[in-house]
Amino acid sequence: MSHLGENHLQPINLFEYEQLATQHLSQMALDYYSSGAWDEITLRDNRAAFERWKLRPRMLVDVSDRNLTTSILGQPLALPLLIAPMAFQCLAHPDGEIATAKAAASAGVGMVLSTLATKTIEEVAAVGQNFPNALQWFQLYIHKDRGLTRALVERAYTAGYKALCLTVDAPLLGQRERDRRNEFSLPLGLQAANIATIKDLDIPHAQGESGLFTYFAEQLNPALTWKDLAWLQSICPLPLVIKGILRGDDAIRAVECGVKAIIVSNHGGRQLDSAIASLDALAEIVTAVDNRAEILVDGGIRRGTDILKALALGAKAVLIGRPILWGLAVAGEVGVSRILTMLENEFSLAMALSGCQKLQDIDSSLITLPHGSK
């Protein structure tokens, strides 16, 4: 891993952006973005999983031109990448989710807007309207107040989002001890914009506790079950994507409920600590679904080779989380654009060095676990 030295003017990889971002973020914001649940075992393992898997490149293939394009739910992408839903992006930069949306649309990658964004559904959608092929999804938490949930869904549909992305791994918020120690709350002037415009709710100041943990406990519905997917589909015609699946049987159930895409995810190691790494759960889910839904994966992706490994294990695309926040903190929209360009360039090079001209050439023969690994 590279590290910034005194003479470095510009980060040249995602790890260096992360290091530089620490100079641009408050301690509370840095801990909120970077922390995982409890002992952060899953947080670390998400990254370690990519390092365990090894590539088996093909030789003597004409790779003078590579085609990185794909489509997700029928929408074109310049490369198989979406920006994961992440709350409170204005903690990193005043332009927050708007800067992220502009960078995503310019790069031809997708963006998933968080329910707990610090810019409104409509403000972010307006960015996409300037790009005919912009892929924007809306990530949903189902609140105890069904009227609030319905209002969020209706606003996303009216604004032109292309899918609903339901997060299912957070009936309660995972215990992130750094947030608890900091008594995490939003600074004066920032709010959960989409919630605040519907109902007078915000992230509370909680003595001895994370304000977000308290919000989840008070407002989100921990009784959510598979039957609630039918209700969600009944109020909105958008395709339903489920985020947070780690088991093959759950993936099969999702498909049976009409889900069109599944994001294999452990919430960036922020929910159940000791949960399986997303990459390690991927193959089982791909096999179980058997092409009946599109499979995506997030968690721990930091290099172009990581994208290659995820696709070799059967993902249609990947989602990138924290590195986007590092780019945003360092240089706003420009920083996010640089992160995306780095990943595109690294992925294109990894394809070339593995003997792949196009995404269809990436298959399971390219990847292996070393003998004795588990």
Give residue-wise pLDDT tens across range 238-248.
Answer: 999 999 999 99
Q: What is the reported pLDDT for 374?
A: 58
Q: Which long-range contacts (CB under 8 A, 24 or more apart) does 126-134 make?
A: 127/98, 127/101, 127/102, 128/101, 128/160, 129/160, 130/105, 131/105, 131/106, 133/75, 133/76, 133/108, 134/104, 134/105
Contact yes or no for 144/221 (Cβ under 8 A): yes
**Residue 312 in tokens:** 């070799």
Query: Cβ atoms within 10 A of the Cβ of 311, count?
Result: 26
**What are the pLDDT digits (tens) for 90-143?**
999 999 999 999 999 999 999 999 999 999 999 999 999 999 889 999 999 999
Q: What is the reported pLDDT for 373?
A: 67
Question: What residues are paired with 240 via a beta bridge?
Answer: 164
Is the model's pLDDT at 76 over the cut of 90?
yes
Spatial separation of the C-alpha atoms in residues 268 and 322, rounded to whole Å: 9
**What are the pLDDT digits (tens) for 96-108?**
999 999 999 999 9
Q: What are phi and psi of 241, to 5 degrees?
A: -110, 135
Q: For residue 6, what pLDDT band results from cuts at 50, 70 and 90?
A: very low
What is the length of the chain?
374
**Catalytic sites, residue numbers:** 267
Of all residues in the chain, what percent carry a pLDDT higher than 90? 91
What is the b/e burial string over 335-350, where b = at least 16 CB atoms within 10 angstroms of the residue's CB? Answer: bbbbbbebbbebbbeb
For the chain, the first-to-last Cα distance in angstroms comes to: 24
**What are the pLDDT digits (tens) for 177-227?**
999 999 999 999 999 999 998 887 888 888 888 989 899 989 999 999 999
CATH of the structural domain 14-368, one choice from 3.30.300.30, 3.20.20.70, 3.30.160.270, 3.30.460.30 = 3.20.20.70
- Secondary structure letter of residue 261 according to DSSP: E
Q: What is the reported pLDDT for 206?
A: 84
